[in-house]
Amino acid sequence: MSSEQGNMMNKQLKLWRHILASLLAAGLLAGCGSGDSAQPVGDGATSGGDTGDTGDGGTDPVTDEPDDTPNTAPVANAGVDQSALAGTTIYLPGSGEDSDGTIASYEWVQVEGTSAIINNTTAATTTVSLPLVGAAEDLTFSLTVTDNDDASHTDEVTISLFVEADQVTNAKPVADAGADIVVSTGDEVGLSGLGDDLDGVITSYVWQQSDGATVALENANTSTPSFMAPEVDGFETFTFVLTVTDDGGATAADDVNVEVFSLMVPPENIDAVATPGTITLTWDEVPGAETYNLYYAEESFEGDELANYARRAGGTLVVGIDSLSYELDSPNTITEFYFVVTAVRGSDESDGSEEVTVASEVGILVGATDLLNDTGFDTCATALEAGRLCPIDSFKEQDGDNGRDSEASEGTLEKSGSGRAGFDFFKVDAKGKPLASGAEEWDCVFDNRTGLLWEVKKSSDGLDLQSTASKFTWYINDSSINGGDPGTETGGTSCNLNGDCNTTAYIAAINAENLCGYSNWRLPTVMELTSIIDHGAVQPAVDTDFFPLAQTLLAYWTQTVYANGGDAWAVEFNTGTVGRRARSSEAYVRLVVGELPEEDQ
């Protein structure tokens, strides 16, 4: 047998199988052959499903307990497209699959074309009596399958009607132009079409553009043409139609959309907002972007490529963000962060957005912590020399050998803020927001160790209420504090108040300002004020990075009274010593919010 004869025989066998299936569906061969008559087509109630019952709302077959596993939707299959003679009956071999349950129902519906009769609308497999029509047309039927958890899926099949008997001898081919594509300007776009013919072979492929600005389509008469994605304004849709022709001259067509986006541009309006423990970033949508990448570090990206982000301190890349915001946990320290966002579609990543920066925030809880600061001594001494590094073998167990100051010297002390030796401070603005240690302007200082919030003195120039040069007489009209002697209300003249320069008047003025968000400022106790004394420093004996302009000529008042007379205790910041002063004399004032535990007063 020649090769040509073999091909012809194969075509004839495929054709007879197709005709035989149509005759069986029409019932024309029922009862033929030996044995019992042919059985009718089943109703399909159990076709295509498994017998498991593990969908949502069912029970576990082992434990008999409710199963909370999410239900997976079933899959419907209405069969392949067919060609048939008008007025005949055809067979629709439908089926359904459910990976986690059973198919509970089938429903056939005609959705397009001259009305036909579906002989069993609730069976998986059914027959359809086709109408007599005067011209060729397509009829479309849908099969919807529903599983035992009420999830459903629909598939469609097209029946091409012919009006002449000889036309049905050639089954219409099927064209598939492929899935829709999303690309960027400048990409080479490859289309990939398929053609299938039930009773023959595909002899030609023809691609034509039906929508969008005209492009040069190369190899348009093959199954796999290509073109270069043009420049577009934002994005544009290009539609291409594939027509396939079989060896009997029948044709079929399908189309595919190619969405072309302009090259990815950086997101705009990047915003970073810090709250205690969290930083939230937002940005504008970029047309065509599928996801966004976020680069951040503790130093600026300027002057280097984003690809080198890991070279930056704390450099981090977050990929695949599918929304227009991102929230990240921030440390319990005030740290400056730098952020850049890019837009991504496929392998196309935009340049970086404008860099934004924000400092992480920490929450401060003003009040007693039951903790005290260390002394500030972080060096040791011999009998002849001070300021030596610790430890000294011949002079062991000195102050600088132990405690927070020692840990700070060794680099093992963890701080939320910063400060010399073992001190741990935050700068705070006038509204009560903690600031980074490098802030150049601040109004208060929060002591992380003691929980106390301190007033910061301002320059003596001008008329600033918190002027470091202002002095006051001791006056507290509260018998629970003053020991029966309220002190001197008048007499002080060295302050920026309109009235008397006494401690109560100053406290009232600061509270009226709601300084740093508080209106319960007061004089500190002697224990409280000495808690910020740094004995490792002199003139002044305090961390001047946080408490600038500290006066050393006179002492600072405390509310603690001297037990045997009309004096009150004061702390001088020259060397950090404590002494008593007459309440009628003038001294400096540094107010505080919060209280130490009673046993430490």
Least confident among 145-149, 407-411, 451-455, 527-531: 407-411
Bridging pattern class, strands 356-359 and 226-228: unpaired
Specify which of 4-13, 84-93, 236-245 reaches the highest per-range mean pLDDT.
236-245
User: What's the pTM?
Assistant: 0.54
Per-residue pLDDT at 52: 37
Per-residue pLDDT at 369: 75
Contact 108, 142 (CB under 8 A): yes
C-alpha 263/C-alpha 124 separation (Å) is 48
Q: Is the pLDDT of residue 355 over 90?
A: yes
Contact 313, 296 (CB under 8 A): no
Q: Is the pLDDT of residue 144 over 90?
A: yes
Confidence band of 598 (pLDDT split at 50, 70, 90) = low
Model pLDDT for residues 266-319, shown as the tens digit of each residue: 999 999 999 888 999 999 999 888 999 999 999 999 988 999 999 999 999 999
Q: Is the pLDDT of residue 525 over 70?
A: yes
Instruction: Find the mean pLDDT for residues 492-505.
Output: 85
**DSSP string across 198-211:** TTS-EEEEEEEEEE
Domains of the chain: 41-169 (2.60.40.10), 174-261 (2.60.40.10), 271-359 (2.60.40.10), 399-600 (no CATH)
334 three-state secondary structure: coil
Q: Is the pLDDT of residue 70 over 90?
A: no
Contact 389, 342 (CB under 8 A): no
C-alpha 132/C-alpha 115 separation (Å) is 10
Q: Is the pLDDT of residue 455 over 50?
A: yes
Q: Is the pLDDT of residue 450 over 80?
A: yes
Mean pLDDT over each residue of the chain, to the nearest integer: 84
Q: What are phi and psi of 600, to 5 degrees?
A: -100, 0
Confidence band of 51 (pLDDT split at 50, 70, 90) = very low
Instruction: Find the mean pLDDT for residues 159-170.
Output: 69
Residue 65's Cβ-count burial label (10 Å; 0-12, 13-18, 19+) is exposed
Q: 């196309």: which residue's tokens?
A: 348
Model pLDDT for residues 362-408, shown as the tens digit of each residue: 877 787 677 888 888 888 888 888 878 888 888 888 877 788 888 88
Least confident among 217-221, 490-494, 595-599: 595-599
Per-residue pLDDT at 167: 53
Choice between 40 and 427, residue whose per-residue pLDDT is larger: 427
Q: Is residue 90 within a helix (H) or strand (E), and if so which, with residue range?
A: strand 89-93
Confidence band of 28 (pLDDT split at 50, 70, 90) = very low
Phi-psi region of 248 (alpha: psi -120 to 50; beta: other; left: phi over 0): alpha
Contacts of 385 (CB under 8 A, 6+ apart): none
Instruction: Find the mean pLDDT for residues 512-532.
Output: 93
Confidence band of 188 (pLDDT split at 50, 70, 90) = very high
Please, which residues bridge with residue 326 across strands? 281
Contact 288, 268 (CB under 8 A): no
Choice between 427 and 417, residue whose per-residue pLDDT is larger: 427
Q: Is the pLDDT of residue 22 over 70?
A: no
Model pLDDT for residues 91-137, shown as the tens digit of each residue: 898 999 999 999 999 999 999 999 999 999 999 999 999 998 888 88
Structure tokens, 85: 């003679």
CA 240, chain centre distance (Å): 37
Per-residue pLDDT at 597: 52
Share of residues in the chain with pLDDT > 70 (%): 86
Per-residue pLDDT at 168: 53
Instruction: Find the mean pLDDT for residues 140-167.
Output: 87
